[in-house]
C-alpha cells in the first residue's frame, strides 16, 4: 500500500552562503521529488538571498527577514509547512545521500509521531556516525537528545503540544523531545539508517555554551519534572570533564598510583604548613 504522507523539509539560514548552497543542493538533488521545501532566512546579506533566488523554482516557500533567533525561525517554518511530517535540514547540514527521502518516505505512516535515524557528525577533520537506541528512556535525555536533522516530526504535534520555546538559546528542541516522549508518551520509531550530515560547529556544539545548556536543561526539568532535578545535577557532575579525567586516570594503575601519591603529598604538605 502506497504511503501518501507528505514531507516538508525546512532550512533555516543566517549569513552562511557556503553552508546554505550546500544544504539547498543536497535537498533539491533528492531522487524523491514529491515534498515541500521551505527556506527561512533571517535577513542575511545579498549573497545568501541570491543563492535562494537561484533555486527558487525548487523552493515552495521562502522568506528573508529579521528574526529573534534560531527557534523563532524554526517556528516560522513549522507554521507555514503543509506536510504531514517535517524535518529540519538547516544551513550547513545536508542529507547523507540523494536517496534519503526516497528510502524514508514509505516508512512514515500514521503509526508513529516521531521518526528518527542516525547522522554523521562533521568536523573540520573528521566524519563519525552517531547512532541512537531504539528505546528512548528518561535517563537517555539526562545527557542526550535526538538530532533535528535526522528526525521527522508529525507536523500536528507542534499544535497539540507546543512550538519551540523561543526564550531558550540551545535546548528548545530537547525540551520538545523530552516532554513529548517522556510526558505525553507520543509514539516514536527508530529508522536505523543515516539521514544527514550534521555540521557540528553550531552554538549547541560549542563547549563554551555548555553552562548555558546545563542551566536551560535544569529549567526545563524544574518546570515539567521537578522530582528529577537533583538526579540531573548528579548526572551533570558525573559527565563533567574533570570527573571523566579522574575515571581515565583510575583505569591506568600507574597513573592512579601517581595521582594518589600527589594527593597524599599535597595533604601532608598543607598539614605541615598549617602547623
pLDDT in tens, 136-183: 998 899 878 999 999 999 999 999 999 999 999 999 999 999 999 999
Cα 197 to Cα 93: distance, rounded to the nearest angstrom: 6
Q: How many CB atoms lie within 10 A of CB 160?
A: 11
- Would you state the pLDDT for residue 126? 81
- Would you state the pLDDT for residue 254? 57
Q: What is the 3-state secondary structure (H, E, C) of 85-130?
A: EEEECCCCCEECCCCHHHHHHCCCCCCCCEEEEEEEEEECCEEEEE
Cα 97 to Cα 95: distance, rounded to the nearest angstrom: 5
Cα 266 to Cα 41: distance, rounded to the nearest angstrom: 56
Q: Please report, for the chain, the start and end positions of each structural domain, with discontinuous segments joined by +.
A: 7-209, 240-274
Task: Tell me, yes or no, if the pTM score tops 0.85.
Answer: no
- Would you state the pLDDT for residue 127? 87
- In the CATH hierarchy, which top-level class contains the domain 7-209? alpha beta
Could you read off the pLDDT of 179-205 as tens digits, one per residue?
999 999 999 999 999 999 987 765 555
Q: In DSSP terms, which residues pair with 122 in a beta bridge?
A: 127, 199
Ranges of the chain with pLDDT below 50: 1, 238, 240, 242-244, 246-247, 249, 272-275
Cα 225 to Cα 22: distance, rounded to the nearest angstrom: 40
Computed from CA positions of residues 79, 94, 98, 26, in that sequence, does the dihedral angle turn out positive or negative?
A: positive
Cα 173 to Cα 141: distance, rounded to the nearest angstrom: 12
Amino acid at each position: 500500500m502506497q504511503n501518501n504522507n507528505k514531507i516538508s523539509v525546512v532550512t533555516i539560514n543566517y549569513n552562511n552562503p557556503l553552508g546554505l548552497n550546500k544544504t539547498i543542493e543536497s535537498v533539491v538533488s533528492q531522487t524523491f521529488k514529491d515534498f515541500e521545501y521551505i527556506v527561512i532566512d533571517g535577513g542575511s546579506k545579498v549573497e545568501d538571498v541570491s543563492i535562494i533566488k537561484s533555486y527558487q523554482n525548487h523552493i515552495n516557500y521562502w522568506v528573508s527577514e529579521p528574526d529573534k533567533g534560531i527557534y523563532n525561525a524554526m517556528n516560522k517554518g513549522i507554521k507555514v509547512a503543509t506536510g504531514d511530517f517535517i524535518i529540519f535540514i538547516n544551513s550547513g547540514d545536508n542529507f547523507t545521500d540523494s536517496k534519503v527521502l526516497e528510502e524514508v518516505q514509505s516508512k512514515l505512516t500514521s503509526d508513529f509521531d516521531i521518526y528518527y535515524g542516525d547522522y554523521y557528525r562533521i568536523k573540520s577533520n573528521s566524519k563519525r556516525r552517531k547512532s541512537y537506541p531504539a528505546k528512548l528512556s528518561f535517563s537517555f535525555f539526562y545527557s542526550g537528545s535526538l538530532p533535528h536533522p535526522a528526525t521527522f516530526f508529525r507536523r500536528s504535534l507542534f499544535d497539540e503540544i507546543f512550538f519551540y520555546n523561543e526564550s531558550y538559546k540551545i535546548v528548545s528542541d530537547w525540551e520538545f523531545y523530552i516532554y513529548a516522549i517522556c510526558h505525553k508518551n507520543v509514539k516514536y520509531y527508530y529508522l536505523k539508517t543515516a539521514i544527514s550530515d550534521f555540521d557540528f560547529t553550531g552554538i549547541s556544539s560549542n563547549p563554551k555554551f555548555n553552562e548555558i545548556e546545563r542551566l536551560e536543561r535544569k529549567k526545563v526539568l524544574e518546570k515539567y519534572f521537578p522530582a528529577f532535578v537533583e538526579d540531573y545535577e548528579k548526572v551533570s557532575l558525573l559527565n563533567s570533564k574533570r570527573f571523566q579525567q579522574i575515571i581515565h586516570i583510575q583505569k591506568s594503575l600507574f597513573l592512579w598510583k601517581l595521582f594518589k601519591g600527589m594527593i597524599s603529598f599535597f595533604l601532608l604538605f598543607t598539614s605541615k604548613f598549617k602547623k
